Amino acid sequence: MDQNSFQIKCQRKHFLKDKHYHLLIDDDRISISQSVNFQQSKYILDLIFQNLVFWKTDENQLIAFGIKYNQVLKWFHAEKTALEALYRELHTRVFFGNISAIYESKEILGAGASCKVYKVVNKITHYEFASKCIRKDYVFKRNDKERYNRLIQEIELMRLVEHNSIVKMVDLYEGEKSYYIIMELLKGETLHTFTKKTKLNIYQIKTVMNKCLKALCYLNLLNIIHRDLKLENLVLLEPNNVETVKIIDFGLAIPLSTPQLQICGTPGYIAPEMFIDKYPYTTKVDMFSLGSIFYKLLSRKSLFSGNNSDEILENNKRFKCNNHLKNCSHEILDLLKQMLQKDPNKRISPEQALLHPFFDDTIQGDLGVAEESPHEIVKTFPHIKPMQISNSNDNIKIQVIRGSQPSFDLSLGSNYFPSFDDINKKSRNGSDHIIE
């Protein structure tokens, strides 16, 4: 038995006499036995997403948990503290059933084609959360289970994440018609909405970039590619406070080791290498997306223009960038250029970006905005020598990619990638597009 295993005592209520059991969670399995050695466990439940755990409450307090045994729901009672500990042990590891036993829906926060987001209140703790409700008829519309697999992958990746600048997943529930992902409630607006009515000053922009870069450093260590960074996916935890910005929506996120890399994301934020067929892109695509966000925060205009999504996508694919900036400091322009490098091998890493002179306290000044003038950003920005960024073991972690690809050091450059310029003209097959 593992030292990290979890145990509680519980009992089944019977008309004549209650039966007492021991519950053990070990090796991703729940075992329930009348003997303390668990050699002959009567009830066994593998901790997989297909198996549900149910909860029973009385006066908004946990009194029992339930599991299905031979298609029949069996209830086990226990002390309140034991049940609360069991809840904490199982949350996000499996789907819970009967969400209405724990959460009460208050108001709708938003809606899309496949899901709705509600504000909910935990009946036991009285804390407020956000519930992302995904319809099952949408998830299982395709016979290939692609959408279900993507949902499970999103959950698996969010289980790994614990960072102040990334939204936290709290609970998982499954109902008859929907899946529910319970997340911390972000009470502020998206940066997309907030920046439409509020012009950020240079200090606020520094704050947003600093928070996002640190979050990308963290995702790099976990080998996770977000693939859909945009202003709409940056949300304020507290209203009007950019210091509380958080990254949301891991619906398109993948592990770096994913063998088949598809083009995806939002037109206007997609890295150039994602348009190249079979190009083994990495976490550097998120740096380009963040560079596009940086540009929009500075200029309040989009990096790629167009009258509709198709036109924006075409300009994005052709790398036909706008340049609305003027009179910006060399530090601002240099960091922007390094983040928007067309060649990912030359693009700055988040670890390096945090050491850029742009983040020095002495960098300040007004932000200049010019008339719209589409052209390549790397050619039209003032020609300045790239800022020197030194790698220090005290304040920068060298990222090493682990997985099916050969290991290499991104922050020091790599010869692993095929020449970017040589294959730049090789477009992806249209069937690979899952732009959402």
- At 107-129, the pLDDT tens digits run 999 888 788 999 999 999 999 99
Residue 1 lies in a domain: no
Q: What are the residues whose beta carbons fall under 8 Å from the beta carbon of 142, sequence distance 6 or more?
A: none
- At 374-424, the pLDDT tens digits run 444 444 443 334 444 433 333 332 222 222 222 222 222 222 233 344 445
Q: Based on the domain organization, do 109 and 175 belong to the same domain?
A: yes
Residue 96 lies in a domain: no
Q: Based on the domain organization, do 228 and 308 belong to the same domain?
A: yes
How much is the pLDDT for 423?
Answer: 44
Residue 165 lies in domain: 101-184
Residue 249's alpha-carbon distances to 169, 188, 212, in angstroms, are 11, 16, 14
Spans of the chain, pLDDT less than 70: 1-4, 362-436
Catalytic choice (2, 18, 26, 228): 228
**Domain final residue, candidates 184, 202, 232:** 184
Residue 288 lies in a domain: yes
What value does the CA radius of gyration of the chain take, rounded to a whole number of Å?
A: 25
Residue 388 lies in a domain: yes
Residue 394 lies in a domain: yes
Cα separation of 311 and 118, whole Å?
A: 33
Q: Based on the domain organization, do 271 and 393 belong to the same domain?
A: yes
- Which long-range contacts does 314-321 make (Cβ < 8 Å, 24+ apart)? 315/374, 316/267, 316/268, 316/269, 316/270, 317/270, 317/275, 317/427, 319/272, 319/376, 320/374, 320/375, 320/376, 321/374, 321/375, 321/376, 321/377
Residue 365 lies in a domain: yes
Q: Based on the domain organization, do 357 and 234 belong to the same domain?
A: yes
How much is the pLDDT for 427?
Answer: 52
How much is the pLDDT for 117?
Answer: 95
How much is the pLDDT for 367?
Answer: 54
CATH number of the CATH domain containing 273: 1.10.510.10
Q: Based on the domain organization, do 17 and 81 belong to the same domain?
A: yes
Q: Based on the domain organization, do 195 and 180 belong to the same domain?
A: no
CATH number of the CATH domain containing 178: 3.30.200.20
CATH number of the CATH domain containing 39: 2.30.29.30
User: What total number of domains does the chain contain?
Assistant: 3
How much is the pLDDT for 40?
Answer: 84
Residue 34's alpha-carbon distances to 1, 9, 428, in angstroms, are 17, 10, 59
What integer best gives the mean pLDDT of the chain?
85
Cα separation of 375 and 380, whole Å?
A: 7
137 given a catalytic annotation: no
Phi and psi torsions of 202, nearest 5°: -65, -35
**Domain final residue, candidates 123, 149, 184:** 184
Distance, first Cα to last Cα, the chain: 46
Q: Based on the domain organization, do 274 and 290 belong to the same domain?
A: yes
Residue 317 lies in a domain: yes
**Pairing state of beta strands 29-33 and 19-25?**
antiparallel
Residues 233/241, Cβ–Cβ less than 8 Å: no
pTM attached to this predicted model: 0.83
Cα separation of 24 and 8, whole Å?
A: 7
Residue 161 lies in a domain: yes
**Domain final residue, candidates 134, 163, 184:** 184
How much is the pLDDT for 396?
Answer: 30
Q: Based on the domain organization, do 260 and 375 belong to the same domain?
A: yes
Residue 397's alpha-carbon distances to 131, 349, 350, 435, in angstroms, are 35, 11, 10, 32
Q: Which of 24, 16, 10, 133 is nearest to 81 (CA)?
A: 10
Q: Which of 291, 298, 286 is nearest to 217 (CA)?
A: 286
Q: Based on the domain organization, do 72 and 118 belong to the same domain?
A: no
Q: Based on the domain organization, do 295 and 332 belong to the same domain?
A: yes
Residue 356's alpha-carbon distances to 24, 177, 288, 395, in angstroms, are 51, 49, 16, 12
Q: Based on the domain organization, do 169 and 310 belong to the same domain?
A: no
Q: What are the residues whose beta carbons fall under 8 Å from the beta carbon of 193, sequence distance 6 or more?
A: none
Hey, what are 157's tokens?
């990746």
Q: Based on the domain organization, do 121 and 64 belong to the same domain?
A: no
Cα separation of 360 and 56, whole Å?
A: 55
